[in-house]
């Protein structure tokens, strides 16, 4: 089943039905569940021509591989929304908005980052292949469908990718607790990428050195830092605020 992606939960399955129903191989639902939400999903699947199989709860548990499934699991072909950064940038109208995650390995954090990225109009999320979690079942569920709308690019060499972004006119802003400037000092109206490090460790040295600007998120209480998904949301919505467009990046669709 190496070429099969497991989607668990209503948000993940409904999003795939909406954006790429042809990629779905089979949908499995809890046989005893007959509420409105399940009925609506089954009708949507039938309209899209997808096979729906009522099964026992223990079968769903096995298919979901330990992920909360809410009574629905789909097996689908993996989708690739973009091959590389150049493909993303080539179709953007207006200033780019990207999110770079250096060392985020928790699937719940990645899922939350993707969900926020979708809401803020981010064009792509970029992560290093050797220090990041992939689009597994938990990420798909937590992202609530955003994994089907925001390209997630895992790159072999993050610093090299960041330098390529610079060559394309993308300003790289890293978040660092020790930076002297606050995040509000950023001109977020230009093509830019927010660069976030892992909780605890922060950005790696080379990642930090490749940034054009380092800023801190003002912390007025007793805690020293924010969860990476919350920090991403705070920074991305600074871009939304400055651009004043309602959709920061203006991502198509």
Report the percentage of the chain scoring pLDDT > 70: 96
Residues 188 and 108 in one domain: yes
Q: What is the mean pLDDT of residues 84-96?
A: 90
Q: Does any domain span residue 253? A: no
Q: Is 27 annotated as a binding residue?
A: no
Residue whose token pair is 């610093």? 159
Residues 180 and 71 in one domain: no
Q: What is the mean pLDDT of residues 133-157?
A: 89
Q: Quick one: tokens of 19?
A: 């954006």
- How many domains does the structure of the chain reveal? 2
Q: What does pLDDT average to over the chain?
A: 89
Q: Phi and psi of 196, rounded to 5°? A: -115, 140
Residues 53 and 92 in one domain: no
Q: Does any domain span residue 249? A: no
Task: Say if residue 195's pLDDT is above 70.
Answer: yes
Task: Say if residue 214's pLDDT is above 90.
Answer: yes
Q: In CATH, what number is assigned to the domain containing residue 160?
A: 3.40.1280.10
Q: Which of 54, 76, 98 is the last residue of a domain?
A: 76
Q: Is 217 annotated as a binding residue?
A: yes
Q: Does any domain span residue 50? A: yes
Task: Say if residue 131's pLDDT is above 90.
Answer: no
Q: In CATH, what number is assigned to the domain containing residue 72?
A: 3.30.1330.30
Q: What is the mean pLDDT of residues 105-127?
A: 95
Report the percentage of the chain scoring pLDDT > 90: 61
Residue 238's nearest CA partner among 230, 248, 251 is 248
pLDDT band at residue 245 using 50, 70 and 90 as cut-offs: low
Residues 6+ apart with CB under 8 A from 47: none
Query: What pLDDT was estimated at residue 213?
Result: 97
Q: Phi and psi of 154, rounded to 5°? A: -100, 115
Between 193 and 78, the higher pLDDT residue: 193
Element (H, E) at 16: helix 10-19
- For residue 56, the enclosing domain spans 5-76
The answer to whether 248 touches 232, Cβ cutoff 8 Å, is no
Residues 202 and 138 in one domain: yes
3-state secondary structure of 24: strand
Query: What pLDDT was estimated at residue 253?
Result: 45
Q: Is 197 annotated as a binding residue?
A: yes
Task: Say if residue 231's pLDDT is above 90.
Answer: yes
Q: Quick one: tokens of 80?
A: 């690739």
Q: Quick one: tokens of 35?
A: 């509420």
Query: What pLDDT was estimated at residue 252?
Result: 46
3-state secondary structure of 173: strand
Q: Which of 48, 76, 104 is the last residue of a domain?
A: 76
Query: What pLDDT was estimated at residue 250?
Result: 54
Q: Which region, left, alpha or beta, applies to residue 148 given φ > 0 means left and ψ of -120 to 50 means alpha? A: alpha
Q: What is the mean pLDDT of residues 158-173?
A: 97
Query: What pLDDT was estimated at residue 2?
Result: 47
Residue 192's nearest CA partner among 179, 207, 177, 173 is 173
- Whole-angstrom distance, CA of residue 32 vs CA of residue 47: 22
Question: In this predicted model, what pLDDT tens digit does every residue of 61-86 receive, in sequence order?
Answer: 899 887 888 899 999 888 777 778 99
Q: Does any domain span residue 250? A: no
């Amino acid at each position: 089943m190496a070429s099969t992606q497991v989607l668990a939960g209503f948000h993940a399955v409904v999003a795939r039905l909406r954006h790429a129903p042809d990629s779905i191989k089979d949908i499995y639902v809890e046989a005893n569940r007959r509420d409105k939400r399940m009925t609506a999903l089954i009708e949507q699947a039938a309209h899209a021509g997808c096979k729906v199989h009522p099964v026992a709860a223990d079968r769903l548990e096995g298919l979901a591989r330990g992920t909360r499934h809410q009574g629905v699991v789909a097996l689908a072909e993996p989708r690739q929304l973009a091959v590389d950064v150049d493909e993303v940038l080539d179709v953007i109208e207006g200033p780019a908005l990207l999110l770079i995650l250096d060392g985020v390995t928790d699937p719940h954090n990645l899922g939350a980052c993707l969900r926020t990225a979708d809401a803020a109009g981010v064009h792509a999320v970029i992560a290093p292949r050797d220090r990041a979690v992939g689009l597994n079942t938990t990420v798909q569920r937590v992202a609530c469908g955003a994994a089907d709308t925001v390209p997630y690019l895992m790159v072999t060499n993050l610093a090299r990718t960041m330098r390529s972004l610079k060559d394309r006119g993308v300003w790289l802003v890293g978040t660092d607790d020790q930076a002297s400037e606050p995040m509000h000092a950023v001109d977020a109206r230009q093509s830019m990428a927010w660069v976030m490090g892992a909780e605890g460790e922060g950005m790696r040295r080379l990642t930090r050195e490749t940034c054009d600007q380092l800023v801190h998120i003002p912390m007025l209480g007793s805690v020293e830092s924010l969860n990476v998904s919350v920090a991403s949301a705070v920074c991305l919505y600074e871009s939304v605020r400055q651009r004043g467009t309602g959709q920061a990046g203006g991502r198509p669709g």
